[in-house]
Amino acid sequence: MERISKLIKFPIDLVVRIEEYQKQNNIRTFSETVYQLIRKGLDS
């Protein structure tokens, strides 16, 4: 899959929630966690 680099600044409270999701789901990287959450949101 081709990837394009984008710089995003996240609010601290959102980072905390993303990192909690990452730990709960044993996801290796922050980026992969964000990808999964975006896909879930787009699919719903």
Amino acid code (one letter) for 13? D
Query: What's residue 6's pLDDT?
Result: 92
Query: What's residue 1's pLDDT?
Result: 80
Would you state the structure tokens that stand for residue 24, as one six-digit string? 């709960």
pLDDT in tens, the chain (44 residues): 898 999 999 999 999 999 999 999 999 999 999 999 999 999 99
Neighbours of 38 (CB within 10 A): 10
Boundaries of every domain in the chain:
12-43
Query: What's residue 23's pLDDT?
Result: 98
pTM above 0.75, yes or no: yes
Is residue 15 within a helix (H) or strand (E), and if so which, with residue range?
A: helix 12-24
* C-alpha of 16 from chain center: 11
Distance CA 15, CA 34 (A): 10
Cβ(34)–Cβ(21) under 8 Å?
A: no
